[in-house]
Every structure is written in structure tokens, then in C-alpha cells.
């Protein structure tokens, strides 16, 4: 039964599905209006004239839609009728235009045929015109590149007395550029006519250049002659002129010579004014010759002025050539120019300084002048580096003259020492001449210590100075002490040499001389030591014992048997020796206390006591030798050498 019902139900469903109305209804029911935009738009449009929803309006809906569609179609037809009319009008216009264009084309074709020759001629003329225009532009550019403008020619030529300005230098630069460009063109493969033209342009530019350089040199020459003031101001135009003259070495050298000639006259005039009237670059207005009574200040002021003038002239020359290309040749030119400028002051310098040197007799002042001249020679040499400069040569000659006069003064002083030899004073100290000479040497060496010479020159000068003074001084001391006794001579020479030694030990480069003096002092000190020891031995009657012991030999027999060597004589001598040991200073030579050096006195005492101790030990050992026959040596010489040594300290 169930299956039968299902079959009936399926048959009923098939009938419903085959009904068209059912299909539409199902379709409408299944339709989703919110997704159908066209339907929504149609409903919106329908809502504009379907205002009421009643049976009548629903029945008339179709007719209303049809009427509305009819009205729209009528409006559409009316509008298209107007469009068709306008299109017909446009068609007529187009046809008219087409006919007109066809007619014009025919006329143009006819005209073109008639004017073909004219068009060809016009095209040829246009081509020729373009070619001529190009040639005109090339010619204009060529003239602008390789020809001077009238105002440039006027600036270059000008007048000989006319001034130089920036336009002149611009025109000169233009001439040089054209000349260089012509050289470049000549290197290329040009036609003969072009090469001839370029050569003509080069020749004309060369003439312009020579004229311009001649005018530039004349103007520079006239301007340089005006540069004679102290406060020199060199214009930028003049510096630029010198820079351009550097391209012509001969004219450039002439310009430098003109400048140096003007500056040389100015420097000489200013130097004479500074000497006699006062003034000068950076100096007080007081004349230098007011200090002629003070040789060092006078010569120092002159040399300081010349050094400052040399530095100022170097600055002027560097400002004069500041725009020139730097090179070694330019430096040489500047140095030669400075040398020529400063050469003018050589004669007044030499005349005045020579007079000062020759009239000066003091060795110290001469040596100070020597060092002063040497210092300024080296100082000016830093500014004026030319080797054969007359100013440097002049200062060097004055230095050599002062150096020679200084040593002449030393030799003269030494000669006077040998001519007037003084006798030693009673205190055996150095003589007054000796002390004055030492003072002179001290002053000279003090000046030398502050000099600016090199170490080699200093060492050589020290050796020469010491030889000129010390050797004659020692000879004078030797002659002065020739009539003294040996002891007095040794003490006197020790005092004299000690004074020399202690003074020169304060200065450098004196080691060799100090060694020589020390050796002489040691020799004279040894003499005093021997004399002191001999005096003590003689005073204590030990001289005979010591001499006999030194020369005794066993073949002569026993020592005790020799006359004078008896035990009693030895006992008497030991009594005096014991008295000496109680006061060792009691038998000191008077010359020992006259020594100036406490160190020498101490060395003398110690060395003499050592000799006494050595002599006592020799005698002691000999007496205590049984072979010499002394029966009780301990009684004869009760003190051992060690005890004697302690007592002698």
C-alpha cells in the first residue's frame, strides 16, 4: 500500500511539473528579487506611475504600459526624424566640400604642373641660402675667434704714457690665445689657402704682442722708478704686469733690474739718513752715529739695520713677483736682485766698521765685535742665500779683520809680558801682570761662550786663544822665577799655574790644556814634596842614616861599623824624630803655607808624610836586621812603622 501511495504521489508530482503555469509560479516563487537588479529597476520605474494598487489599476496595468511604450516610441521617432534631417544637411555640405576639394585639387595639380620649374629654382635658392648662412656663421665665429675687437686693439696699442688697466691684460690674454690656436691649426692638415691665412693671423698677433709687451715694459719701468719710499705699496696691476713680462725673459730681467736700481738708491739713502739723521724701517728716529762712542752698540745697530733692510727688500721683491710662476730660476733672480740692492750699502758699511775695528785696542771688545759680525753674517745669510753676495762678502771681510785684530791684540799683550817681566812678590803669589792676563783671558772666554759659531770653530778658537795667552804667560812665569831657589820657584810656579788651571777649567774645550797644566803642577808639587821630606829628614838627623841605608851593601861590612851609624847617633836622631812626631807641622817649609790652593797644601803634606814614613820604614827594617850588628834594635827604634804612620796622619 505504501508503495502504491508513493507511486501515486510521484505521478501527481509529474503532472504538476508538466503544467506551464505551475512552472511559472514555481519560477516566480523561487526567484530572489533582491539579487535581480533589472527587476528591481523595472519595479522602481513602474512605481512612478502606478500610484494606486486596486483591481482597476491592476487590470489597466498592461494597457498603461503599452500606452507609455507607445509614447516613448513616438518621442524616439520624432527625435530621430530631426537627426535624419540634420544628417541630410551634413551630407549635402560634405558633398559640396568634396566637390570643392576636388576642384581645388584639380586646380592645384594644374598649378603645380605650371610652377614645377619655379619650385625647383626656389628649392635650389633655399639650399644656397642655407649654405651661405652657414658660411656666414662660420666666418663670423672665425672672426670672433681669430680677430681682435676694435676696443681690444685700442687697449693694446694705447699711448706710451697711457695707463695699464684690466682691459689691457684681457686683450693681451686674447692675443696669446689666438696665437696659440693658430699654432694648433698649423699642426692640422689644412688647405694651402687656409695655412696662408693662419700664418697671416699669427704674424699680426705677433706684432700685437710685441707692441703690447713693449708698452707693458715701458709702463712697468716708469712705475718701478717711483718705488723709492720707505712704506712701499706695490699695486696689483704692477704685479700682474710683471707676471705677463715673465713670458719675455729679457724684458722681465730688465723690469727686475729697474726695480732693483730704484730700491738700491732708496736703501742707500735711507741707510745714510739712519746713520746721520735717524729713522729707518721700524727703528727709533735717533741717528745711529750718536752711539759711535760705544763700538759694540754702534756696529750692532748698523748690522741690525742692514739685516732688517735685507729682510724688507726680500719681502718687497716677493710682493713684486708674487703673481709670477714659482721656479728655481725665479728664486735665483730674487736673490741676485737682493744682492744688487744691498750692494750699495757695502761701502759706507765697510768704511765705518773698519774705522771702529782699527781704532779699538781692547782685546775683549775686538772679540765681541768678531762674534757680533759672525752672528749677523749667519743671520743675513738666512735671508740672502746667494754665495757671492757683496754684502755677505763685506761682512765676512770685516769679521776676518776683527778676528785678525783680536789676535794681534792678544799677541801684543803677550809680547808686553815678555818685555816687562816682574819679580815674584814676597808671598810667592802671581804678579799683577799675571792676574791682569788671567782676567783678560776670563773675559775673552766668557765672550766666546756666548758666540753663535759652530762647535768646530769654537774649539779651534779656544785652542788658538789659549795658545796666544797661556804659553807666553807660562814663559813669563818661568823667567820671573829663574832667580828663585828651588823651593820658592816650585811654590811660585804652582801658584801661577793653579790660577790658570782653576780659571780655564770653567770652560769647555780646555781638556787638553788642563792636562798639560796639571802635569806641570804635579812636577812642581813633587819638587816641594821632595824638599819638604828632605827638610824633615835633615832636621831630625835621619838624612845620613837614610842615605847610608839606601847605598849600603853587605860587602862593605856591617852597618853599625860605618862612621855616623853608631847606636848613640841613632838614639839622638830618634829623640828629635819623636819631637817631630809630637807636632808634624812644626817642621813645615814656609813655602807650603804660601800655596793658594788648600787642596795642594793638603796633597803636599800627605805626600811628604808618606815619604817620611817610607824612609823610616827603610831605616827600621835595616836596623832590625841582625846582619847589621845592632844588638838591641827595639830600644834604638821603639816605634814601629805602623805607629809612625798613625802619628803622621
pLDDT tens across 607-627, in order?
888 888 888 888 888 788 777
Q: What is the pLDDT of residues 413-440, one digit of tens each?
A: 888 888 878 888 888 888 888 888 888 8
Q: 495 and 559: one domain?
A: no
Least confident residue range of 132-136, 411-415, 461-465, 513-517 = 132-136
Nearest alpha-carbon partner for 559 in 636, 477, 482: 636
Q: 302 and 330: one domain?
A: yes
Name the band, by pLDDT with cuts 50, 70 and 90, for residue 146.
low
Q: What is the pLDDT of residue 224?
A: 83
Q: 504 and 608: one domain?
A: no
Return the higher-pLDDT residue of 190 and 647.
647
Q: 173 and 294: one domain?
A: no
Instruction: Pick the last residue of a domain from 145, 179, 204.
Output: 145
Nearest alpha-carbon partner for 419 in 470, 475, 467, 469: 475
Residue 374 CA to its chain's centroid (Å):
23
Determine contact, residues 225/257, Cβ cutoff 8 Å.
Answer: no
Name the band, by pLDDT with cuts 50, 70 and 90, for residue 27.
confident
Q: Is the pLDDT of residue 539 over 70?
A: yes
The sign of the dihedral angle between the CA atoms of 384, 387, 393, 395 is positive
Q: What is the pLDDT of residue 347?
A: 92
Domain membership flag for residue 613: yes
Q: How many helices (H) and strands (E) does the chain have?
A: 25, 0
What whole-number percentage of the chain has pLDDT above 90? 10
Q: What are the distances in angstroms from CA 241 to CA 161, 319, 555, 584? A: 15, 13, 114, 97
Q: Is the pLDDT of residue 150 over 60?
A: yes
Q: Is the pLDDT of residue 394 over 90?
A: yes
Count up the domains in the chain and report the number. 5
Q: For residue 329, give the C-alpha cell.
A: 730660476
Least confident residue range of 278-292, 391-405, 550-564 = 550-564
Q: 506 and 580: one domain?
A: no
Domain membership flag for residue 374: yes
Q: Is the pLDDT of residue 397 over 90?
A: yes
Domain membership flag for residue 316: yes
Name the band, by pLDDT with cuts 50, 70 and 90, for residue 141.
low
Most confident range (mean pLDDT) of 30-34, 115-119, 175-179, 269-273 is 269-273
Instruction: Work out the angle at residue 166's Cα, subtended by the Cα atoms of residues 161 and 169, and round it to the nearest 5 degrees.
Output: 80
Q: What is the pLDDT of residue 625?
A: 76
Q: Is the pLDDT of residue 628 over 50?
A: yes
Q: Is the pLDDT of residue 580 over 50?
A: yes
Q: 137 and 162: one domain?
A: no
Instruction: Pick the last residue of a domain from 405, 424, 457.
Output: 405
Q: Write out the residue range of the structural domain in which residue 279 sits.
A: 268-405
Region 178-189 average pLDDT: 67
Name the band, by pLDDT with cuts 50, 70 and 90, for residue 533.
confident
Determine contact, residues 261/221, Cβ cutoff 8 Å.
Answer: no
Other C-beta atoms closer than 10 Å to the C-beta of 87 total 11
Most confident range (mean pLDDT) of 18-27, 41-50, 540-549 is 540-549
Q: What is the pLDDT of residues 331-368, one digit of tens each?
A: 888 899 999 999 999 999 999 999 999 988 888 888 88
Question: Counting Cβ atoms within 10 Å, is residue 184 exposed (0-12), middle (13-18) or buried (19+)?
Answer: exposed
Domain membership flag for residue 233: no
Q: 272 and 374: one domain?
A: yes
Q: 400 and 309: one domain?
A: yes
Q: Is the pLDDT of residue 191 over 70?
A: no
Q: 387 and 273: one domain?
A: yes
Q: Is the pLDDT of residue 190 over 60?
A: no
Return the higher-pLDDT residue of 631 and 250.
250
Q: Is the pLDDT of residue 471 over 70?
A: yes
Q: What is the pLDDT of residue 392?
A: 92
Q: Is the pLDDT of residue 242 over 50?
A: yes
Domain membership flag for residue 561: yes
Q: State the helix-helix crossing angle for 390-419 and 328-343, rounded to 10 degrees.
A: 50
Instruction: Pick the last residue of a domain from 503, 528, 553.
Output: 528
3-state helix, strand, coil in the chain (%, to 5): 80, 0, 20
Least confident residue range of 76-85, 143-152, 484-493, 515-524 = 143-152
Domain membership flag for residue 626: yes
Q: 475 and 442: one domain?
A: yes
Nearest alpha-carbon partner for 64 in 76, 75, 52: 52
Domain membership flag for residue 487: yes
Determine contact, residues 490/591, Cβ cutoff 8 Å.
Answer: yes
Domain membership flag for residue 293: yes
| pLDDT averaged over every residue in the chain | 80
Q: What is the pLDDT of residue 307?
A: 92
Q: Is the pLDDT of residue 510 over 90?
A: no
Q: Is the pLDDT of residue 299 over 80?
A: yes
Q: 171 and 97: one domain?
A: no
Q: 141 and 156: one domain?
A: no
Q: What is the pLDDT of residue 2?
A: 46
Nearest alpha-carbon partner for 266 in 231, 220, 290: 231
Q: Is the pLDDT of residue 376 over 50?
A: yes
Q: Is the pLDDT of residue 147 over 60?
A: yes
Amino acid at each position: 500500500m505504501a508503495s502504491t501511495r508513493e507511486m501515486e504521489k510521484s505521478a501527481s508530482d509529474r503532472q504538476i511539473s508538466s503544467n506551464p503555469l505551475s512552472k511559472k509560479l514555481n519560477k516566480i516563487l523561487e526567484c530572489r528579487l533582491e539579487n535581480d537588479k533589472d527587476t528591481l529597476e523595472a519595479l522602481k520605474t513602474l512605481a512612478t506611475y502606478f500610484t494606486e494598487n486596486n483591481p482597476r489599476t491592476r487590470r489597466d496595468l498592461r494597457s498603461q504600459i503599452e500606452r507609455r511604450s507607445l509614447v516613448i516610441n513616438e518621442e524616439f521617432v520624432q527625435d530621430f526624424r530631426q537627426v535624419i534631417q540634420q544628417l541630410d544637411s551634413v551630407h549635402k555640405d560634405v558633398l559640396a566640400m568634396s566637390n570643392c576639394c576636388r576642384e581645388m585639387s584639380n586646380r592645384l595639380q594644374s598649378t603645380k604642373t605650371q610652377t614645377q620649374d619655379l619650385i625647383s629654382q626656389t628649392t635650389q635658392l633655399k639650399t644656397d641660402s642655407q649654405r651661405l648662412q652657414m658660411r656666414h656663421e662660420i666666418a663670423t665665429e672665425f672672426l670672433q675667434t681669430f680677430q681682435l675687437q676694435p676696443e681690444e686693439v685700442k687697449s693694446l696699442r694705447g699711448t706710451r704714457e697711457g695707463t695699464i688697466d684690466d682691459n689691457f691684460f684681457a686683450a693681451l690674454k686674447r692675443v696669446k690665445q689666438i696665437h696659440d690656436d693658430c699654432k694648433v691649426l698649423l699642426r692640422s692638415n689644412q688647405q694651402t689657402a687656409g695655412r696662408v691665412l693662419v700664418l697671416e693671423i699669427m704674424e699680426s698677433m705677433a706684432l700685437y704682442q710685441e707692441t703690447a709687451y713693449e708698452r707693458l715694459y715701458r709702463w712697468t719701468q716708469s712705475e718701478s722708478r717711483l718705488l723709492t719710499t720707505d712704506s712701499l705699496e706695490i699695486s696689483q696691476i704692477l704685479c700682474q704686469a710683471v707676471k705677463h713680462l715673465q713670458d719675455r725673459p729679457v724684458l722681465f730681467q730688465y723690469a727686475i733690474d729697474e726695480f732693483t736700481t730704484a730700491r738700491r738708491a732708496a736703501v742707500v739713502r735711507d741707510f745714510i739718513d739712519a746713520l746721520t739723521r735717524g729713522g729707518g724701517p721700524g727703528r727709533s728716529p735717533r741717528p745711529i752715529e750718536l752711539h759711535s762712542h760705544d763700538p759694540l752698540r754702534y756696529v750692532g745697530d748698523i748690522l741690525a739695520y742692514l739685516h732688517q733692510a735685507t729682510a724688507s727688500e726680500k719681502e718687497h721683491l716677493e710682493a713684486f713677483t708674487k703673481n709670477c710662476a714659482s721656479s728655481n730660476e725665479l728664486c735665483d733672480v730674487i736673490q741676485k736682485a737682493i744682492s744688487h740692492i744691498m750692494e750699495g750699502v757695502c761701502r759706507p758699511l765697510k768704511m765705518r766698521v773698519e774705522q771702529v775695528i782699527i781704532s779699538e785696542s781692547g782685546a775683549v771688545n775686538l772679540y765681541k765685535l768678531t762674534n757680533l759680525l759672525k752672528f749677523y753674517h749667519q743671520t743675513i745669510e738666512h735671508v740672502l742665500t746667494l754665495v757671492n753676495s757683496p754684502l755677505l762678502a763685506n761682512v765676512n771681510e770685516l769679521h776676518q779683520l776683527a778676528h785678525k785684530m783680536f789676535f794681534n791684540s792678544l799677541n801684543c799683550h803677550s809680547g808686553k809680558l815678555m818685555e816687562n817681566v816682574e819679580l815674584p812678590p814676597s808671598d810667592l803669589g802671581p804678579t799683577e801682570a799675571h792676574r791682569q792676563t788671567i782676567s783678560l783671558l776670563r773675559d775673552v772666554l766668557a765672550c766666546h761662550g756666548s758666540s753663535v759659531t759652530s762647535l768646530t770653530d769654537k774649539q779651534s778658537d779656544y785652542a788658538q786663544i789659549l795658545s796666544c795667552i797661556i804659553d807666553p804667560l807660562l814663559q813669563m812665569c818661568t823667567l820671573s822665577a829663574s832667580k828663585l831657589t828651588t823651593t820658592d820657584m816650585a811654590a811660585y810656579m804652582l801658584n801661577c799655574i793653579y790660577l790658570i788651571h782653576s780659571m780655564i777649567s770653567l770652560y769647555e774645550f780646555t781638556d787638553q790644556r788642563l792636562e798639560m797644566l796639571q802635569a806641570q803642577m804635579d812636577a812642581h808639587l813633587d819638587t816641594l814634596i821632595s824638599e819638604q821630606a828632605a827638610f824633615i829628614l835633615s832636621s831630625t838627623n835621619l838624612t845620613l842614616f837614610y842615605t847610608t841605608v839606601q847605598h849600603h851593601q853587605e860587602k862593605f861590612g856591617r852597618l853599625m861599623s860605618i862612621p855616623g851609624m853608631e847606636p848613640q847617633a841613632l838614639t839622638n836622631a830618634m829623640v828629635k824624630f819623636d819631637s817631630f812626631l809630637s807636632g808634624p807641622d812644626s817642621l813645615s817649609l814656609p813655602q807650603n803655607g804660601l800655596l793658594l790652593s788648600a787642596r795642594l797644601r793638603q796633597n803636599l803634606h800627605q805626600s811628604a808624610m808618606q815619604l817620611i814614613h817610607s824612609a823610616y820604614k827603610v831605616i827600621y827594617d835595616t836596623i832590625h836586621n841582625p846582619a847589621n850588628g845592632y844588638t838591641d834594635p827595639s830600644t834604638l827604634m821603639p816605634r814601629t812603622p805602623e805607629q809612625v804612620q798613625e802619628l803622621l796622619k
